[in-house]
Each structure stands twice: as structure tokens, then as C-alpha cells.
């Protein structure tokens, strides 16, 4: 009978370690592989429509991120918000990553999925084109 306790203990310690190793705030960004040629219309706008335009529309908050308006709104953000070709240097990315010290992390309710953030970063790295 005693024998049976050991594996259970080992298993529960293992699960505990597994859980605690997941219990950190870091995104496994490096593991996310995003396709090349991200499309603003097909890949980015749907994210903005779903995650942002509920608030970012003329009756609530600027910039207007609805389909048909978002690209121009994003290009008109203050300098440094989006640096084409340089996602890491773009303040919008810091907002989306909820980076420490950011005044307005977006979306306000919580970080988007790492894949959505990775797509937006790739789009910026590829030149933030209206493609």
C-alpha cells in the first residue's frame, strides 16, 4: 500500500511545478511564428474591429478604429506611436503589451492574445502598409 503514495506525491509535485512555471506574466512571444505579408485589411482590421472599435468610434474614444477609418486614424497618431518597420520602437506596441509604465494599456480590460499582438507587430515591422 505504501508504494502507491509515492507516485501520487511525485505526480502532484510535478503538476505543481508545471503550474508555477506557467504562472508568470511573460508571453512566449519568441515561440509565435507569424506568416509574412500580414494584410491590414484581412488580418489587422478584424482585430481592431473586435478588440478596439467597440470603444474607438466617434461616439466614444479617439482614435476611430472602425473599418474604413482605422488606417488613417492610426497614421495620424502622434509621432512615435507607430514607427513603420520598427514594432519594438512603436508606443502602440507598448500599450498593447501592457508594458510597465505605460499610461494607457489597451484594450483597457486586459491584454489581447499573444498571437494578435504578434500579428500587429509583424504588420508594423513590415512597414505598416495599407495592404
Q: Which of 21/104 has CB closer to ligand HEC?
A: 104
For the bound state, the minimum distance from the C-beta of residue 103 to ligand HEC, rounded and expressed in Å, comes to: 6
Which residues make up the interface to ligand HEC (CB under 6 A)?
A: 51-52, 54-56, 61, 63, 77, 92, 96, 104, 106-109, 112
CB 62 within 8 A of CB 52: no
30-52: string of b/e by CB count within 10 Å (b at 16+)? eeeebeeebebeebbbebbeebb
For the bound state, the minimum distance from the C-beta of residue 93 to ligand HEC, rounded and expressed in Å, comes to: 10
Closest CA relative to residue 91, chosen from 126, 120, 129: 120
For the bound state, the minimum distance from the C-beta of residue 69 to ligand HEC, rounded and expressed in Å, comes to: 13
95 contacts: CB under 8 Å, gap ≥ 6: 102, 104, 105, 106
Q: Which of 12/54 has CB closer to ligand HEC?
A: 54
Q: Which of 17/50 has CB closer to ligand HEC?
A: 50
Q: Which of 84/107 has CB closer to ligand HEC?
A: 107
For the bound state, the minimum distance from the C-beta of residue 85 to ligand HEC, rounded and expressed in Å, comes to: 19
Query: Hey, CA dihedral for 72, 78, 128, 122, is it positive or negative?
Result: negative
Amino acid at each position: 500500500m505504501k508504494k502507491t503514495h509515492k507516485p501520487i506525491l511525485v505526480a502532484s509535485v510535478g503538476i505543481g511545478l508545471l503550474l508555477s512555471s506557467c504562472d508568470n506574466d511573460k508571453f512566449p512571444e519568441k515561440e509565435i511564428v507569424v506568416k509574412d505579408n500580414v494584410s491590414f485589411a484581412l488580418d489587422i482590421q478584424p482585430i481592431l474591429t473586435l478588440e478596439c472599435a467597440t470603444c474607438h468610434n466617434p461616439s466614444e474614444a479617439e482614435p476611430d478604429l472602425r473599418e474604413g477609418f482605422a488606417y488613417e486614424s492610426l497614421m495620424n497618431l502622434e509621432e512615435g506611436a507607430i514607427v513603420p518597420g520598427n514594432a519594438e520602437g512603436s508606443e502602440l506596441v507598448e500599450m498593447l503589451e501592457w508594458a510597465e509604465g505605460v499610461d494607457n494599456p489597451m484594450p483597457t480590460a486586459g491584454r489581447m492574445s499573444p498571437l494578435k499582438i504578434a500579428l500587429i507587430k509583424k504588420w508594423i515591422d513590415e512597414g505598416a502598409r495599407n495592404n
